[in-house]
């Protein structure tokens, strides 16, 4: 039978092994320690340990029961975006920059010519609803590989065309970020088609991220630039995303 002493010893042993993880992490990389030590780091670490490389569930055509409910921005107002939308995004380019060996700029034609992945997946919004749709796009990993991320790059930051609000220092544009583990996950794609048709403006045309093991707000719509960074401390309010800057979790695992 467990007595109080055994419990205490067990607790001490657990605490010790916990410290050991932190200490060896400290020796290797002090930033890693900071991540583990934070509450969010613990949540992310635990979720990662449980999901591993698992795929998010995929569905069948019969599971697509309704249109894809648009949420957040549905029609970016910037002049640049309006002009592009009016010409079928013929002069759209995706820029991949930052900590890469070869910055690249790709047209929609170039993106759609790359090998694609199609997946029927669900978007779960933090507001409590979800929608299933069929997405087709280019694996984000293939696009990053073209740009050759430097070894020190840790996050992909997605910059979007839609301003969500106006602050004293100007317009505040939507942005998101994921780490390179999620970026190279096989279901992480830059989608340009939805339910067999070009991606509608309301759902993020011409290109939006699908990162299937996280909540809807991670799936940046209207992406124009992917910036590879070592830290997102200097971007926006420093939390790695428009919504993380406003109190939501950066790692929104489901
Ligand atoms: N650029 C941009 N991306 C965005 C948003 C946004 O307002 N702007 N809203 C997010 C939220 S909260 C959700 S739930 C999904 C909604 O995607 P949908 O419009 O295709 O349903 O987009 C996400 N991506
Ligand atoms: Mo959302």
Asked whether residue 34 is domain-assigned, the answer is yes
Distant-in-sequence, close-in-space partners of 175: CB < 8 Å, separation ≥ 6: 157, 158, 159, 160, 220, 235, 236, 241, 242
Task: Inform me whether the pLDDT recorded for 202 exceeds 70.
Answer: yes
- Choice from 78, 210, 216, 225 to test ligand 1 binding pocket (greatest atom count within 8 A of CB): 216
How many structural domains are present in the chain? 1
* Ligand minimally distant from the alpha carbon of residue 201: 1
Q: Which residues of 83-106 are buried (b: 16+ CB within 10 A; e: fewer)?
A: ebbeeebeebebbbbbbbeeebeb
116 lines ligand 1 (CB under 6 A): no
Band the pLDDT of 27: cuts 50, 70, 90.
Answer: very low
Residue 159 has pLDDT above 80, yes or no: yes
- Does the residue 252 lie in any domain? no
Domain range holding 182?
4-246
Is residue 12, in this structure, part of any structural domain at all? Answer: yes
In a domain, 254, yes or no: no
Q: At what angle do helices 30-37 and 4-28 cross, to 10 degrees?
A: 140
Asked if residue 55 is part of any domain, the answer here is yes
**Does any domain span residue 199?**
yes
- Token pair in block for residue 242: 């428009």
Q: How far apart are CA 180 and CA 143, in angstroms?
A: 13
Domain-embedded: residue 47: yes
Give 217 Cα–ligand 2 centroid separation in angstroms: 5
- Nearest CA to 35 out of 226, 179, 237, 210 is that of 179
CA angle 159, 187, 89 (to 5 degrees): 45
CATH number of the domain enclosing 119: 3.90.420.10
Indicate whether 216 belongs to any domain. yes
**pLDDT tops 50 at residue 28:** no
Give the model confidence (pLDDT) of 75-117 as tens digits. Answer: 999 999 999 999 999 999 999 999 999 999 999 999 999 999 9
Distance 126 CA to ligand 2 centre (A): 5
């Amino acid at each position: 039978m467990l007595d109080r002493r055994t419990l205490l010893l067990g607790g001490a042993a657990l605490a010790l092994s916990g410290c050991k993880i932190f200490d060896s992490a400290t020796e290797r990389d002090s930033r890693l320690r900071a991540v583990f030590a934070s509450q969010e780091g613990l949540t992310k670490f635990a979720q990662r340990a449980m999901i591993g490389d698992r795929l998010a569930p995929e569905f069948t055509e019969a599971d697509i029961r309704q249109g894809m409910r648009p949420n957040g921005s549905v029609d970016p107002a910037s002049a640049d975006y309006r002009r592009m939308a009016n010409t079928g995004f013929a002069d759209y380019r995706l820029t991949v920059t930052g900590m890469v060996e070869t910055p690249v700029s790709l047209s929609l034609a170039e993106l759609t010519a790359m090998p694609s992945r199609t997946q029927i997946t669900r978007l779960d919004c933090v507001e409590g609803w979800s929608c299933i749709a069929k997405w087709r796009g280019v694996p984000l990993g293939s696009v990053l590989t073209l740009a050759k991320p430097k070894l020190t790059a840790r996050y992909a930051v997605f910059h979007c065309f839609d301003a969500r609000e106006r602050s004293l220092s100007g317009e505040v544009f939507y942005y998101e970020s994921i780490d390179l583990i999620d970026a190279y996950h096989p279901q992480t794609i830059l989608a340009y088609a939805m339910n067999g048709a070009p991606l509608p403006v309301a759902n993020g045309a011409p290109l939006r991220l699908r990162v299937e093991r996280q909540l809807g707000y991670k799936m940046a719509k209207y992406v124009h630039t992917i910036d590879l960074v070592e830290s997102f401390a200097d971007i926006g309010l420093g939390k790695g995303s428009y919504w993380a800057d406003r109190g939501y979790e950066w790692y929104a695992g489901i």
